[in-house]
Structure 1
Amino acid sequence: PSRPAAPAPASPPVPSPDLPPPVPPVAAASAVTEPGALQAPAATPQPEPDRDPAAADPASASTPAPPPPPSPLMLQMPVDVRNLSLALLALFGSVALLHWASAVFIPLMLSLLLTTALRPAVNVLRRWHIPRPLGAAVLLVALVGGLASTAWSLSDGAVQLVDSLPVAAKKVRDNLRARAGMPSTLDTMQKAAAQIEQAAAENSTAAPARRGVQRVVVERPPFNIRDYLWSGTMGLVSALGQLTVVVFLTYFALASGNLFRQKLVRIAGSSLERRNITMQVLDDITGQIQRYLLVQVFTSILVGVATGFAYWALGLENAAVWGVVAGVLNLAPYIGSALTAGASALVAFLQFGTIDMALAIGGASLVIHTLIGNLLTPWLTSRTSSMSPVAVFVSVLAWGWLWGLWGLLLGIPVMMAVKAVCDRVEDLKAVGEILGD
């Protein structure tokens, strides 16, 4: 018997294009609810996301948004408080020592400066088969003799100037009073001071003394000209003693040749690199100081010639002597120009008898010193010493405060030596960079 044929699988119904698509059974079952059942609330439509205004406005889309403000840069630099405190203590201690022992350090620095300046001349005499001790003695005798002869030639003019100071002061006072037609400001201030002193004395005498307290009146000692002259003489003797020490130190340093240099190289260490660095430092210091001295000599000669010519053109007597004085005082920055201008203006007033000529003479001196001594000299010094003009000016002020007039002369050479050492020491390169140009 034959088996019946299996029924063919039913083909899925073809959906009609006019009818909606059939609902799945699960969805249909969920859609049918019982009569007593609660119906779920209809789904609320989700709010549309906010539209970008840049997308809505194409013109604003082309404009870029402003960048956020940049955050400040922070420098991460660790500071060792202990080392910084020790460095500051060492600095303050060194300044106090230099001020307290100035009577020792000033002659030493002057002798080193003279030794550096005169060593090339001693080397030239050595090439001429003149021994170093003899050549050093000849140079120092010539230098001291030249200074002494210059001072002796100017002594008469200096004495006359000192003798004429009271007459000049009286003349200036009378002229100013005649021009003003009223008592001078100095007289008014003196009268006011006298009245204040009298009122203070009356108040002090009127105040009753306390019981058991004895009133003491302090009397000022009278001015003694002998004490004044004695103190001035002792100052002159002290200056001559320091000058003698400088001369002998310079002589021994020149006569010994390169002995001090060789000792410094030996102290530096046994390695060849350290010795080479020490020699470079010494050569750099010597070269900078020699160039600095050449600049000072050149500018002093220029100031002297310009001052003498200006005074001669204005008709001042002894114009050549005043030129020499101006050139010598140019070695003292800022103070030398003030002394030259004041003294020459006073002499001009004595000679011409008018304030206008005195102001013209003093003004000419100030202009020359300002252009050459205060502008040209610091610029040339900074070029020859690789130091910035600001560092030169600050060093002059600092050493002038520390050592007075000698500090004005020695401040720049000392800072040159300090910079040369700092440039070749790894831990001190920052100081050399600050002092450099």
Structure 2
Amino acid sequence: MAKPIITLRGLKAVIMLGMLVVIMAGIKVAADIIVPFILALFISVILNPVIHRLEKLRVPRVLAISLVVAIIVLSMALLLAYLGTSLNELARTLPQYRSSLIAPLQMLEPWLQRAGIVISVDELLRYIDPNAAMTLVTSLITQLSNAMTSLFLLLLTVVFMLTEVPQLPIKLQQLMARPTEGMGAIQRGLDSVSHYLVLKTAISLVTGLVIWAMLVMLDVRFAFVWALLAFSLNYIPNIGSVLAAIPPVAQVLVFSGFYDALIVVTGYLAINLVFGNIIEPRMMGRGLGLSTLVVFLSLIFWGWLLGPVGMLLSVPLTIVVKIALEQTNGGKSIAVLLSDVSKA
């Protein structure tokens, strides 16, 4: 009689892998529902320490939540109004880009020919269509006007989550077979995610303000838009700061020339060097407990699974997964692969 080819352990691994694929497929299909919930959850994690501080000052929790949410709504309304005005101005400016590109391309053409690259400026300009960019900006303005409804539902979810926080530990303890170990793991995960998100938000905010001040001093148009972009993309590890620098550098290169663009590039490099390589690692303390490769791969994975929000929250999501894996015998080895041994 032939021996079975697949062992019981191998069969278990295949079944678990199949279940994981089904779960990921379900998450990807239901991303429109899951992403707002995850975003509301992480916003609640950021705001809960603020609510807790207000409670220590003897402010009732309901009043503290109302005050914080009211400040957020007012700030978002002012921000969206100013951003909408800036995007409208940007849409009116876009047709100028095509005519402004002629001189830089004509200067670049002899250099390319010396390098053996034969290119015609007239042919290249045919592929540059400002109408496509104008359509993109117009759609962004439309989406901003429709965003208030989504933001309202998101903040409403955040309010209910923050209201539920005091009762949540009791409910979770009743669901767990080992309440002490389970609550310890949840608290460790909350502490790690809260520590990361609060510090990352503060650093991103200061980075955006410094970039805004730098662009205003250099008289770069749409400085507020580029500063807001820098604040948002700073949440994306490794490549976020690089992506945020591309639009303002391209704008300055087209309208002001190579040397002004070089100054802007130098400013971005200096700011990201100071905040990304000096201030942020010191404020984060011992680190995230994740290897650099895992951080980069998690950016790709969560971006594929959940879209842009997944890229923004790739690090805290991976931290949660790592802590969850540490609680199971089969997942401990995977958690070790995810961790940074040098900071263990």
Give TM-score, length-normalised by structure 2. 0.78
Give per-residue Cα distances to partners, 1:318-362, cap 9 Å, x unaligned.
7677545533442344664355323322443465x3233234324
Paired residues for 1:81-230 under 5 Å: 81-180=10-109, 184-185=119-120, 187-188=122-123
Contact preservation (8 Å) 1:304, 1:326: yes
Stretches of structure 2 lacking an aligned partner (at least 5 in a row): 1-6
Q: CA 1:80–1:378 in structure 2 vs 1: closer, same or farther (change >3 Å)?
A: farther
Q: CA 1:309–1:142 in structure 2 vs 1: closer, same or farther (change >3 Å)?
A: closer
The answer on 1:399 being equivalent to 2:328 is no
Stretches of structure 1 lacking an aligned partner (at least 5 in a row): 1-77, 194-222
Name the residue aligned to 1:245: 153
How many residues align structurally?
324
Q: Which of 163, 170, 176 is the matching residue for 1:268?
A: 176
Q: State how far apart, in whole Å, the 2-side matches of 1:265 and 1:180 are.
A: 69
Name the residue aligned to 2:3: none
Q: CA 1:333–1:435 in structure 2 vs 1: closer, same or farther (change >3 Å)?
A: closer
Q: Which of 248, 252, 255 is the matching residue for 1:348?
A: 252
Given residue 292 of structure 2, which amino acid in structure 1 is its aligned partner? P
Contact preservation (8 Å) 1:288, 1:384: no
Q: Percent identity?
A: 23
Give per-residue Cα distances to partners, 1:37-89, cap 9 Å, x unaligned.
xxxxxxxxxxxxxxxxxxxxxxxxxxxxxxxxxxxxxxxxx882211111110
Name the residue aligned to 2:234: 330
Give TM-score, length-normalised by structure 1. 0.63
Contact preservation (8 Å) 2:88, 2:141: no
Q: Which of 286, 301, 324 is the matching residue for 1:383?
A: 286
Given residue 261 of structure 2, which amino acid in structure 1 is its aligned partner? A
Contact preservation (8 Å) 1:422, 1:431: yes
* Segment of structure 1 superposing worse, 289-298 or 100-109: 289-298
Q: Secondary structure at the match of 1:130?
A: coil
Q: Secondary structure at the match of 2:313?
A: helix
Larger Rg: 1
Contact preservation (8 Å) 1:285, 1:420: yes
Given residue 55 of structure 2, which amino acid in structure 1 is its aligned partner? R
Give per-residue Cα distances to partners, 1:108-132, cap 9 Å, x unaligned.
1111111111112222333344332
Query: Quick check: which one's helix share is greater?
Result: 2
> 1:246: Cα distance to partner?
1.7
Give per-residue Cα distances to partners, 1:189-222, cap 9 Å, x unaligned.
689x9xxxxxxxxxxxxxxxxxxxxxxxxxxxxx
Given residue 356 of structure 1, which amino acid in structure 2 is its aligned partner? Y
Name the residue aligned to 1:365: 268
Contact preservation (8 Å) 1:400, 1:408: yes
Paired residues for 1:58-69 under 5 Å: none
Q: Which of 407, 412, 417 is the matching residue for 2:320?
A: 417
Q: CA 1:119–1:302 in structure 2 vs 1: closer, same or farther (change >3 Å)?
A: closer
Task: Determine which structure has greater relative contact order: mean sequence separation of CA pairs < 8 Å that are 6+ residues apart, divided by chain length.
Answer: 2
Given residue 134 of structure 1, which amino acid in structure 2 is its aligned partner? L
**What root-mean-square deviation, in Å, do the aligned CA atoms of Structure 1 and Structure 2 show?**
3.7
Q: CA 1:232–1:162 in structure 2 vs 1: closer, same or farther (change >3 Å)?
A: closer
Given residue 155 of structure 2, which amino acid in structure 1 is its aligned partner? V
Q: State how far apart, in whole Å, the 2-side matches of 1:171 and 1:286 are.
A: 51
